[in-house]
Amino acid sequence: MTEHAPLELRDASLSYGERTVWSDLDLTLHPGDFLTVLGPNGSGKTSLLRAVLGLQPLSGGTLSILGRPARRGSKDVGYIPQQRLIDPATPVRARDLVRMGIDGDRWGPGRHSHRERVDELLAAVGASSYADVPLGMLSGGEQQRVRIAQALGTRPGILLCDEPLLSLDLRHQHEVTALIHETRRATGTAVVFVTHEINPVLPWTDRVLYLAPAGHAIGTPDEVLTSANLTSLYGTPVEVLHSQGRVLIVGGDEHTHHVDEAGE
């Protein structure tokens, strides 16, 4: 039996009406791969996630997940949304949210058989001690851990992360990215991580997909993040600087490359 890749795109393109967001995209993710998706506002990063989630059809080419077409609600795809703080008044507890990741969005009393799995998922993300606390009372970093546990509920082959670090401080950014890295090592889940800031995920990134108005580039961070490459992708001078293991991109659409507060 052939092993199917968690994600395969062949000659893929995505358009909204007349506007083509990206095209000629060829990409194969293997189990455990960590792909970081970068690009300026409007370059189609979210659209790529929506295509993998089965919410947005391609306008050309093919996309398959473990050998099957993308499908809305697929248990093969886990999704961690952008960090949004939850209403402090919500009665939903951490363990309820994680159970919804296993059950789908069905409410009602938890099925007893899932209790162990929920406990296991909460423990894997270090959230056992606040399993019964309402979500709205947790810190942003704690909420994001619970969302990771929820996304892993169905043991997905691919984990989509949509800027999950927004509004987290540096320590929590590091904890969340390290957790996602450990998860893909332990479970073989391939990771697609959309972000405006490469540095928090640079240590874990196997390959970068850089989407830009003039095209895209795929390769290791060293291959893709060069002044020559980005200058050609943006069509305007861009300089890539390296300092103490961090990457700083100057020029292009500068405001899309936040320099985190660790920068000197």
**What residues make contact with ligand ATP under the rule CB under 6 A?**
16, 21, 39, 41-47
Smallest distance from the beta carbon of 253 to ligand ATP, in angstroms?
A: 10
Shortest CB 48 distance to ligand ATP, Å: 7
> Considering the complex, what minimum distance in angstroms separates the CB of residue 25 from ligand ATP?
13
Asked whether the beta carbons of 98 and 122 are under 8 A apart, the reply is: yes
Shortest separation between residue 121's beta carbon and ligand ATP, angstroms: 28
Q: Which CB atom, from 39 or from 141, has the smaller least distance to ligand ATP?
A: 39
Name which of 16 and 107 has its Cβ closer to ligand ATP. Answer: 16
Compare residues 39 and 157 and give the one whose CB is closer to ligand ATP.
39
Q: For residue 160, list its beta bridge partners.
A: 79, 192
How far is 104 from 78, CA to CA, in rounded Å?
Answer: 11
- From the CB of 57, what's the least distance to ligand ATP, in Å? 12
Q: How far is residue 146 from each of residues 29, 86, 120, measured CA to CA in Å?
A: 25, 12, 12
DSSP string, 107-148: -SSPPGGGHHHHHHHHHHTT-GGGTTSBGGGS-HHHHHHHHH
Nearer of residues 21 and 190 to ligand ATP, judged by Cβ? 21
Q: Which of 10/50 has CB closer to ligand ATP? A: 50
What's the length of the chain? 264
Q: Which of 39/221 has CB closer to ligand ATP?
A: 39
CB of 9 to ligand ATP, least distance (A): 15
Phi-psi domain of 19 (left: phi exceeds 0; alpha: psi -120 through 50; beta: other)? beta
Give SS3 for 162: strand
Least CB distance to ligand ATP at residue 97 (A) = 24
Here the tokens at position 50 are 């929506």
Q: What letters, b where the CB count within 10 A reaches 16 and e where it falls short, cover 55-72?
A: ebebeeeebbbbeeebee
- Considering beta carbons, is residue 13 or 187 the nearer one to ligand ATP? 13
172 near 140, Cβ under 8 Å?
A: yes
Are 168 and 147 within 8 A, CB to CB? no
Cross-strand bridge partners of residue 60:
13
